Copies of this chain bind each other. A is one copy, B any other.
């Protein structure tokens, strides 16, 4: 390389070295429309010799694009690192984002807190758009993002402003119904559920579907305890269920981590799974295979959701705010193992 260490070459230097104008050099860099083969070659060569890379800030300023998107996760640290859901989510989002040649900026915030700070950041246009996952009832993110006019896609529905942002989600109602149906079909008559946190939409839907199916089958659907999506919380909730409804013989837990806690609690109390109590989980992200017995559960389609979310976001960023927000629902596929 020609340039000396430390100082970064500019487009101006490239253009001079190639013997063309900045305008032509710029065009040559970006696809080469309206550039002669000779000019293109000269620029390519100059770029190589100088080791040139466009300055991100300057390009952003001119194009009004940054080429990066934010992943907003309004969740407490413990949950983020204990729940494979987030690891997996981060994984698939990272991969999808890479496929669109975008950069990912991770924006972890405490739920409810720091929202001002976050909005200030977003208003600065550091990112072209955002993916929001794990949205809670109290957050005003959907509203704030819509007002800001920043392209946003929610993975998992927010509680309000659902018509102002794009949403990609899994069919929690359907999963809840299927779980209940499965337990009923295998002969369970005293059903209970360990639901997700009441302030999260995903858990709410699974509970709602379960309720519907149980009621329609003519059974009572009042054995409901809310957990916090952690294993310990699942064990606790399971304990409460057993105390209040001793005859319980079938449980739907809204996440595998909570189901794993339930297995532990049931085993500790001498109940066999599935003989005494059948158990259905949700997520299938590794945990379900490692419990004893392995869990019958639903495969949370987060790979598909993330891919679709990024696609939607990239499209929205490219096309501008013309199109109305979209909502896409993926079915969660039942995976039968031994627990029910």
The chain A residues found within 8 Å of chain B, CB to CB, are 5-6, 8, 51, 53-58, 60-61, 66, 68, 77, 80-81, 84, 87-88, 90-91, 94, 103-106, 108, 120-121, 123-126, 147, 149, 321
Contact = CB atoms under 8 A, between A and B. Distances in A.
A323 to B, nearest CB: 15
A6 B321 contact: yes
Contacts of A103: 105, 121, 126
A55 B8 contact: no
B105 A5 contact: no
A149 B58 CA distance: 20
Contacts of A8: 123, 125
B57 A61 contact: yes
Contacts of A106: 94, 104-106
Contacts of A104: 105-106
B87 A81 contact: yes
A259 B48 CA distance: 49
Given A6-B321, A61-B61, A84-B81, A56 B126 contact: yes
A68 B105 contact: yes
A103 B149 CA distance: 22
A119 to B, nearest CB: 9
Contacts of A88: 81
A57 B123 CA distance: 12
Contacts of A81: 84, 87-88, 90-91
29 contacts: A5-B147, A6-B321, A8-B123, A8-B125, A53-B120, A53-B124, A54-B124, A55-B61, A55-B125, A56-B57, A56-B60, A56-B124, A57-B61, A57-B125, A58-B61, A60-B60, A61-B61, A68-B105, A77-B91, A80-B87, A80-B91, A81-B84, A81-B87, A81-B90, A81-B91, A94-B106, A94-B108, A103-B121, A105-B106
A6 B53 CA distance: 31
A218 B25 CA distance: 69
A53 B123 CA distance: 6
B53 A149 contact: no
- Pairs of residues from A and B, 4 with the lowest C-beta to C-beta distance, nearest first: A57-B60, A53-B123, A81-B87, A6-B149
Considering residues A5, A61, A88, which has the most beta carbons from chain B within 10 angstroms of its beta carbon? Answer: A61
Nearest to A122: B53
A153 B26 CA distance: 34
Contacts of A66: 56-57
Given A57-B58, A77-B91, 18 more contacts: A5-B149, A6-B149, A6-B321, A54-B124, A55-B125, A56-B60, A56-B125, A57-B57, A57-B60, A57-B66, A68-B126, A80-B91, A81-B88, A81-B90, A81-B91, A87-B87, A103-B126, A105-B106
Nearest to A9: B123
Q: Which of A54, A56, A58 has the most CB of B within 10 A?
A: A56
A333 to B, nearest CB: 22
A87 B78 CA distance: 10
